[in-house]
Amino acid sequence: MKHKTISYAKFGYLFILPFFIVYLFFQVYPLFYTFYLSTQSNGSQTTSSVGLDNFKIILSGTPIIDEAKTAENKANGDDTIAYKVQKRSSESTMKDFRRVLGNTFLLWIGNFIPQIIISLLLAAWFTDAYLKIKGKGFYKIVMYMPNIITAASVAALFVMLFSDSKLGAINSWLANHGYEVVPFVSGKTQSRVMIMIIQTWMWFGNTTIMLMSGIMGINPSLFEAANIDGASPRQQFFRITLPLLRPILLYTVVTSMIGGLQMYDMPALYNMGTSQNRYTETIAVYIFNNFHNSMAPNLGYSAAASVILFFITAILGAIAFRVNNEDGDQKVRKGNQALKIKLGGN
């Protein structure tokens, strides 16, 4: 009956067409435009081509020599001054970029470690069939709540509470009780630790729920067998849960890292007044502030930083994808093996 088959392929294309048109227009084109802008000059809205100079400057601080100017200066007898000025500005740009990269990584790791420890513990407890915890649903709902609240409003709330002056709620309490006022918002360590705490507060519920669904995917008969064999909860956690959770943990680390690279709202808004705190300026804030400056936007540096961010994300994304697609059966088999070896060897 082959000749009677009607091809519906056309409808497949029609159904996915709007997605791809909009995607092309609002994502793909801007992405290539960003790549293009990364080879353009800085300091004004109209740009000229500078090749790969922006990358050289932000990555290695190499001064870019303006040939014509150098020749002119040489003729005037002072060929070193222009070079020195250029070198100093290149180096400060590089230092700025390294600083924001360092900040980004520090803020991410500082919120990820406490978050993953709390979440692992909670996920293990919530899925432990032998614990008689009442109101699990309630705890989950309350702990997830900070994640749903507007990050910009959360930043505003914490700025109000922890404001450096005595007008901040916490500092006024400290001052009333005879303590020194602490610069929670502008101090180097203080502001970083505060952002780490706020980020942990916002994300631990989310990570808990993700890890829980991972643990619930583990074959329950493993836990039953371990229980019959008299394994303690600690042994079960370290020898069944953790090894079998490894792919999901890795996935969580990588996706959290991708999220961490995009951290914007909190570092951009947890500030005194409107000036950006240097110690909590992340790469996302750096990109935004460099291009969103109506007077003298540094489109080149901003775009170059975006391109670097793109490649870091692409590598991390590829890892996450591979981990996520690892064969399910293989995971279980590996886990069973690990279980046998570990429990047997005990």
Nearer to another protein, 51 or 333 (CB): 51
- By CB under 8 A, name the one of 185, 209, 218, 226 that touches another protein: 209
From CA 297, how far away is CA 290, in angstroms rounded? 6
- By CB under 8 A, name the one of 245, 303, 323, 339 that touches another protein: 303
Is 12 a binder of another protein (CB under 8 A)?
A: yes
Q: Locate tokens 């294309």: which residue?
A: 13
**φ and ψ of 330, to 5 deg:** -60, -40
* Positions in 115-154 near another protein (CB under 8 A): 118, 121-122, 125, 130-134, 137, 139-146, 148-154
Supply the minimum distance, in Å, between the C-beta of residue 259 and another protein: 5
Supply the minimum distance, in Å, between the C-beta of residue 85 and another protein: 27
Nearer to another protein, 82 or 270 (CB): 270
Supply the minimum distance, in Å, between the C-beta of residue 261 and another protein: 7
**Which residues share a beta bridge with 49?**
40
**φ and ψ of 85, to 5 deg:** -60, -45
What lies within 8 Å, CB to CB, of 65 at 6+ separation is 83, 86
DSSP 239: I
Stretch that binds another protein, among 51-59, 104-112, 185-193, 266-274 (CB under 8 A): 266-274
Distance of CA 25 to the CA centre of its chain: 26
46 touches 298 (CB < 8 A): no
Stretch that binds another protein, among 58-66, 85-93, 237-245, 313-321 (CB under 8 A): 313-321
Q: Interhelix angle for 242-261 vs 328-344, to 10°?
A: 130
Supply the minimum distance, in Å, between the C-beta of residue 88 and another protein: 26
110 touches 193 (CB < 8 A): yes
Is 166 a binder of another protein (CB under 8 A)?
A: yes
Is 46 a binder of another protein (CB under 8 A)?
A: no
Is 179 a binder of another protein (CB under 8 A)?
A: no
Is 181 a binder of another protein (CB under 8 A)?
A: no
Is 108 a binder of another protein (CB under 8 A)?
A: no
DSSP 181: P
